[in-house]
């Protein structure tokens, strides 16, 4: 039986139905307006703001889930469960900013990953496991922009856009499978080019060339996102 998406139950069933009102998830200001609306009880805003973190959380899950465990549970499934838990517990969220919401969602993601580890490895529940995963996710998140962000993008221009970690994940999600994989393996997981070549079934030289092209495409996608966001902020 196919898994129902996290937003398919109850009041969330209309979140992705086209409406006349477009909610802005391309800027930090737009996200924080949605957070305020969600805290006021707007379920549509809550669905939209959570889904805007999908690529970010899925990338974190992919980086922190053990490779063998990923053969049993997909990062996407873990994110779906994270969203369900976030929906149920959102009344407990006390933050207002995008960064505060990111940290809160990471803590829920850590709990979900810990649950999968315990289930498949028959571990007893341990607070230390969740604490360690939460700290690892925080560190992984902070490291996402390092080595892949374009230094030519002005910090003042980028300030209107989403947090850097979310920008990286969103841009990465739009790359081809090969480009996404080579960046994850080499830039994020710090595997050497020969190790990546063995993993991808390519020559070392081919992987080096692939990584250069992938990084260029990732930076272009991020630059285009920032430019569009900056333009929309100027219009407003």
Q: What is the CATH number of domain 149-236?
A: 1.10.10.10
Residue spans per domain, the chain: 24-143, 149-236
pTM across the whole model: 0.81
Residue-level pLDDT at 123: 62
Distances 224 to 80, 218, 220 between C-alpha atoms, Å: 28, 10, 6
Q: Which of these, 174, 224, 232, lies nearest to 25 by C-alpha position?
A: 232
Residue-level pLDDT at 109: 97
Residue-level pLDDT at 121: 76
Residues 64, 206: Cα–Cα separation, whole Å = 27
Residue 118 reports pLDDT greater than 60: yes
**183 neighbors 148 (Cβ within 8 angstroms):** yes
Mean pLDDT, residues 41-57 = 96
Give the pLDDT band of residue 90 (cuts 50, 70, 90): very high
For 169-181, what is each residue's pLDDT tens digit? Answer: 999 999 999 999 9
Name the packing angle between helices 54-64 and 127-143 (round to 10°): 120
Q: Which two tokens stand for residue 162?
A: 């989403």
Q: Which of these, 170, 169, 98, lies nearest to 140 by C-alpha position?
A: 169
């Amino acid at each position: 039986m196919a898994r129902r998406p996290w937003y398919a139950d109850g009041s969330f069933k209309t979140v992705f139905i086209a409406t006349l009102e477009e909610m802005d998830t391309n800027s930090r200001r737009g996200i924080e307006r949605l957070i305020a609306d969600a805290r006021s009880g707007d379920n549509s805003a809550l669905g939209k703001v959570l889904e805007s973190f999908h690529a970010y959380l899925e990338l974190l899950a992919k980086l922190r889930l053990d490779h063998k465990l990923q053969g049993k549970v997909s990062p996407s499934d873990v994110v779906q469960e994270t969203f369900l838990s976030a929906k149920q517990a959102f009344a407990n969220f006390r933050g207002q900013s995008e960064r505060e919401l990111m940290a809160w969602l990471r803590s829920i993601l850590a709990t979900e990953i810990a649950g999968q580890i315990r289930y498949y490895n028959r571990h007893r529940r341990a607070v230390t496991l969740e604490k360690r995963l939460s700290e690892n996710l925080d560190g992984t998140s902070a490291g996402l922009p390092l080595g892949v962000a374009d230094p030519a993008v002005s910090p003042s221009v980028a300030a209107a856009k989403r947090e850097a970690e979310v920008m990286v994940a969103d841009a990465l999600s739009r790359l081809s499978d090969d480009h996404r994989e080579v960046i994850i393996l080499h830039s994020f997981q710090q595997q050497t080019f020969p190790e990546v070549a063995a993993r991808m079934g390519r020559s070392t030289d081919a992987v080096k060339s692939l990584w250069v092209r992938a990084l260029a495409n990732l930076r272009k996608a991020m630059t285009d996102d920032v430019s569009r966001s900056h333009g929309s902020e100027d219009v407003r």
